């Protein structure tokens, strides 16, 4: 089969998987992604394997579960011994070019490049980093005569002039949309693609939005009327959530109101008005990303590269956004891990405009790209989605999805004395979700179990209900089996077949059932 010429991998930040208009969201405006979905394949049960950004991106860039790549937080280095998407792309003869960031610190035992927050192997064309106060973007603003008020916090660059004003909850960012970080990043990628001409290219484009702070540039700040927006189904008060489990209580305490609302609010002070106003900004930032994505697609069509390019749109992870009264990147629920995935492979028009309701995972992105560019897939936990794109879905696909989180770093900024006062290594969880159940396992705390058919918003924990003891045991067994099956494979990169002449054969993929 003809190999793909170019690859465009667009990764948004904290984009919820339910927030695509054509997939049924009642509020968000995404006309360009809707149009792209009509020409691509939509994977509607796609989930990230970890949170926050660094661990999730490490799974996407290595095809490994968190338990195997071991980058457990944003500041944990990715081991240099693990092959990445960048190495795979480089082996194909393309430059693995990055726009933005990966939140993947270099292994201190083997520094292979200068950028401390870029996955090893990538060539950073235009960086976008918290640690330097978004220096490349600030320089661009200065070159264009855009004056910005900056505070001590790098995120102050996104705030309205003078900071938050409770009397003006829809105040825009202090820069116009044409000079936003989204415009900057998409513009840089567009310029690079233009420079490449007829040469094959690979672009990993990362945009920060709709990541908080929840402020949108004009005119996106007033695109939606907050009064008309829906809010999540949830308990009447956050106290009910906090009382149901120690980790949920800790997640509520860590929600970071200043990133979501115009002034610091305790969880029990958040009203429907606050929530709707915050969502208007979140959806406004999505609308801007949608516009810029649409413009880049139009450019590819105009220059004749659209039908030579594998295009992938996804997100690193999502956002609780008030589900169960939790905001941001904390909590164990699907709202944080369900992310969009659209793939357009021009070689397979049979999949264009189609949808899959099978469980797919972030770890499947690397092997899918490997197939498209004709490279062997390194040993990993993911499986190529090429069969879906070719109209030939695999017969024995996975029946569940899993995700993990390691929240030991919360001990640095959150009082967890009531949770795990002495056993900080117990501060983690693993979750397994099937079509019927969500099961969440904690090493030293009670499990959580939700019936997704009767309780899709995960409000009634059944883990201690004797009636569901068998369901709990079945889910626990499935999660244990999954972890055992995916523990690091004790294999060399070379395999010596039994009863052969002794010639070692190179292997890159251990195969096995797609689960």
d(CA 233, CA 322) in angstroms, rounded, equals 9
Of 53, 119, 207, 458, which is the active-site residue?
53
Alpha carbon 388 to chain centroid, angstroms? 21
Give the max Cα distance, the chain.
79
Asked if residues 389 and 351 have their Cβ atoms less than 8 Å apart, the reply is yes
Contact 80, 107 (CB under 8 A): yes
Least Cα distance to 214 among 173, 161, 272, 167 occurs for 173
Is beta strand 448-451 parallel, antiparallel or unpaired with respect to 437-441?
Answer: antiparallel
Respond yes or no: is residue 53 known to be catalytic. yes
Tell me how far CA of residue 299 lies from CA of 37, 191, 196, 273, 305, in angstroms: 17, 10, 14, 39, 9
Q: Rounded to an integer, what distance in angstroms lies between the CA atom of residue 512 and that of residue 382?
A: 11
Nearest to 88 by CA among 115, 49, 61, 68: 61
Of residues 211, 463, 213, the one with CA closest to residue 332: 463
Tokens of 337: 């891990």
Give, rounded to a whole angstrom, the gap between the first and last alpha carbons of the chain: 26
Angle at Cα 127 formed by Cα 413 and Cα 310, nearest 5°?
A: 110
Supply 94's token pair: 């393309």
Residues paired with 356 in a beta bridge: 43
User: Catalytic residue positions?
Assistant: 53
């Amino acid at each position: 089969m003809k190999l793909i010429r170019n690859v465009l991998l667009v990764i948004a930040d904290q984009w919820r998987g339910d927030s695509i208009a054509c997939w049924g969201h009642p509020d968000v405006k995404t006309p360009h992604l809707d149009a792209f979905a009509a020409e691509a394949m939509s994977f509607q049960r796609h989930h990230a394997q970890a949170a926050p950004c660094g661990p999730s991106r490490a799974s996407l860039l290595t095809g490994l579960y968190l338990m195997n790549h071991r980058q457990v937080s944003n500041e944990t280095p990715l081991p240099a011994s693990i092959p990445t998407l960048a190495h795979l792309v480089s082996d194909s003869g393309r430059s693995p070019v990055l726009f933005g960031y990966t939140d993947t610190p270099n292994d201190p035992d083997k520094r292979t490049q200068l950028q401390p927050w870029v996955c090893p192997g990538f060539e950073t064309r235009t960086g976008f980093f918290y640690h330097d106060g978004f220096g490349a973007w600030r320089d661009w603003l200065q070159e264009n005569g855009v004056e910005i008020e900056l505070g001590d916090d790098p995120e102050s660059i996104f705030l309205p002039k003078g900071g938050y004003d409770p009397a003006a909850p829809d105040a825009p960012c202090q820069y116009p949309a044409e000079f936003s970080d989204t415009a900057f990043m998409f513009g840089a990628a567009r310029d690079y693609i233009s420079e490449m001409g007829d040469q094959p290219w690979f672009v990993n484009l990362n945009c920060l939005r709709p990541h908080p702070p929840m402020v949108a540039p004009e005119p996106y700040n007033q695109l939606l009327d907050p009064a008309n927006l829906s809010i999540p189904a949830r308990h009447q008060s956050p106290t009910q959530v906090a009382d149901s489990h120690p980790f949920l209580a800790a997640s509520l305490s860590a929600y970071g109101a200043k990133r979501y609302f115009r002034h610091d609010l305790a969880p029990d002070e958040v009203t429907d008005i606050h929530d709707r106003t915050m969502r208007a900004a979140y959806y406004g930032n999505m609308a801007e990303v949608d516009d810029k994505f649409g413009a880049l697609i139009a450019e590819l069509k105009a220059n004749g590269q659209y039908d030579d390019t594998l295009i992938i749109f996804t997100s690193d992870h999502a956002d609780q956004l008030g589900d169960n009264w939790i905001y941001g990147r904390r909590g164990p629920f699907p709202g944080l891990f369900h992310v969009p995935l659209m793939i357009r492979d021009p070689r397979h028009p049979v999949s264009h405009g189609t949808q899959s309701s099978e469980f797919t995972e972030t770890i499947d992105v690397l092997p899918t790209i490997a197939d498209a560019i004709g490279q062997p897939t390194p040993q990993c936990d993911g499986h190529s989605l090429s069969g879906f794109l070719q109209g030939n879905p695999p017969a024995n696909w996975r029946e569940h999805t899993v995700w993990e989180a390691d929240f030991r770093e919360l001990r640095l900024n959150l009082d967890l004395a009531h949770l795990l006062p002495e056993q900080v290594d117990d501060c983690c969880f693993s979750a397994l979700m099937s079509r019927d159940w969500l099961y969440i396992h904690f090493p030293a705390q009670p499990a959580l179990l939700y019936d997704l058919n009767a309780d899709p918003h995960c409000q009634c924990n059944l883990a201690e209900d004797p009636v569901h003891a068998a369901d709990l045991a079945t889910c626990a067994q499935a999660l244990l089996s999954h972890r055992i099956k995916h523990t690091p494979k004790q294999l060399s990169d070379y395999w010596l077949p039994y009863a052969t002449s002794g010639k070692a054969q190179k292997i890159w993929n251990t195969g096995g059932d797609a689960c």
